Structure 1
Amino acid sequence: MVAVLTGDIIRSSDLSPEKREELQVVLNQGFAEVTRLSPSFRAEQFRGDSFQGILDPQEGLRALLLLINFLYLRQFGVRIALGLGTVSYESDSILTSDGSAFQASGPALDDLKKKNQLLAIAGPSDSFNQEWRVHALTLDYLLSRWTIPQAEAVLGALQGYTQEETARQLGIRQPAVQQRLQAVGWPVMEAILERFVPFTHATHL
């Protein structure tokens, strides 16, 4: 069982050469941060503005949210689809590997572009997809409305920092961090993250 993340930078064709160069740096930094928190993570880019990554399933949703957050704070938009499932063929390249996780992630990203949404969560069973379509819509609603200060507080939470640690990093007081997290709906995000873990086992799919 693995999680596959397939992502696409929003409106990348509008980027200037300078912004494209900056995007590459930001993507590399984002991948490094996910790897720091989830050592199993591996990612490859394709078409310049798209990427695919694979990692342990229980870490998949947090990695998805972290990447969206990381790029948003650096003024880049991204859509990411998470596919949960198995790998039936593993090659040296993620892009040429195959399995139910890949088959769930790729089409889910295509659907995101049509619906103009930020994230999707898909698996190999109808029961999984019925529940996680609702959770993905909830997360999409919250993330599409957050502010930069709120996203900064969420990044700290996703990285596992306490509110006091995040406050020190941002140069503000802990109650301000708490206020930002409440305003953006972090308790809801956290509950969805906790709900996701049991579904990373095959018996729940």
Structure 2
Amino acid sequence: MKKGVISGDIVAFTSLSNKDKESVEAHIKALFKELTAAFGCYARLVKGDYLECVVPKPEDALKVALLIKSSIKSILITKDSRSDHRTSYFENYGIRLAIGFGSLQRFDTEKGIIDGEAIYMSGRKINEEDTHTMDRISIKNTLFFVSKDEDLNNRFEPLLLLLDFLMNKATARQSQVLYYKLMGNNEDAIAKKLGISQPAVNQHANGIGWNAIEKAVQYFNNTLKSQ
């Protein structure tokens, strides 16, 4: 049975202050618990700035990837981190994510084993797109899909490019709203969680392009269900 595996690399993580690094790590660990509860995911942090997430139902993989992206984009960093100009990349992009769609020959959560084509493909894609150096960060895209089916890859590529464009322009508040929307909360519930008005929630949702994102997620879900 095929699974979705997400590999991710936090952008400019090494440029953050130690306090912000700890905050980001704690935030991600809490996020993993929510993803496990909602989607049955198995997720882990590797070396602080790299994550791996197995999504049992691959049709949920794009939604999970956008939840990870929006959650990390909602994190506010301190002034200590802003002394390094590269932290602006963290605020703009948050994380680069690749969805691998394929089999896992070995998957054992108790032993921490994730082994198979799906994780090889997602991990390889992240490494291929890595253009970080000590002095410069060059980022073209932050959302990828890879499988052995080239037709499927080609169908999803423009979709993810458009989502990438919307996500990378999103503010921290818009990212928060998107996260709760993707989790199925209505605007009144989101307003209570964030301590803002329902019209403000609606404004943020429209600002990030929620209607388009919702349809894109549904298209991805329906397409992979048919595979």
Q: Same fold (TM over 0.5)?
A: yes
Whole-angstrom CA distance in 2 between matches of 1:111 and 1:185 = 29
% identity of equivalent residues: 25
Higher helix proportion: 1
Which secondary structure state, in structure 1, belongs to the residue aligned with residue 107 of structure 2?
coil
Corresponding residue for 1:16?
Answer: 17
- Is residue 177 from structure 1 mapped to residue 174 from structure 2 by the alignment? no
Distance 1:181 1:112, change over 3 A: farther
Alignment of 1:35-184 (within 5 A): 35-38=36-39, 40-56=40-56, 57-75=58-76, 77-91=94-108, 92-95=111-114, 97-99=115-117, 101-114=118-131, 116=139, 117-184=141-208
Moved over 4 A (4+): none
Query: Which piece of structure 1 moves more, 6-15 or 187-196?
Result: 6-15
Contact 2:74 2:173 (C-alpha < 8 Å) held by counterparts: no
Give 2:214's match in structure 1, choosing from 177, 190, 200. 190
Which secondary structure state, in structure 1, belongs to the residue aligned with residue 26 of structure 2?
helix
Distance 1:41 1:167, change over 3 A: same
Aligned residues: 200
Q: Which ranges of structure 1 fall in alignment gaps of 5 or more residues? A: none
1:63-115 Cα deviation digits (max 9, x unpaired): 111111111111452111111111133353344x112x123211221244347
Contact 1:7 1:81 (C-alpha < 8 Å) held by counterparts: yes
1:129-183 Cα deviation digits (max 9, x unpaired): 1011111101100001011222122112011101121122222332222222111
> Does 1 or 2 have the higher relative contact order (CA < 8 Å, sep 6+)?
2
Root-mean-square deviation over aligned CA pairs: 1.8
Contact 1:84 1:200 (C-alpha < 8 Å) held by counterparts: no
Q: Which ranges of structure 2 fall in alignment gaps of 5 or more residues? A: 77-89, 132-137
Contact 1:43 1:94 (C-alpha < 8 Å) held by counterparts: no
Whole-angstrom CA distance in 1 between matches of 2:52 and 2:146 = 15
Contact 1:123 1:129 (C-alpha < 8 Å) held by counterparts: yes
| Amino acid aligned to 1:53 | C
Contact 1:54 1:94 (C-alpha < 8 Å) held by counterparts: no
Distance 1:112 1:160, change over 3 A: farther
TM-score by structure 1 length?
0.89
Distance 1:199 1:46, change over 3 A: same
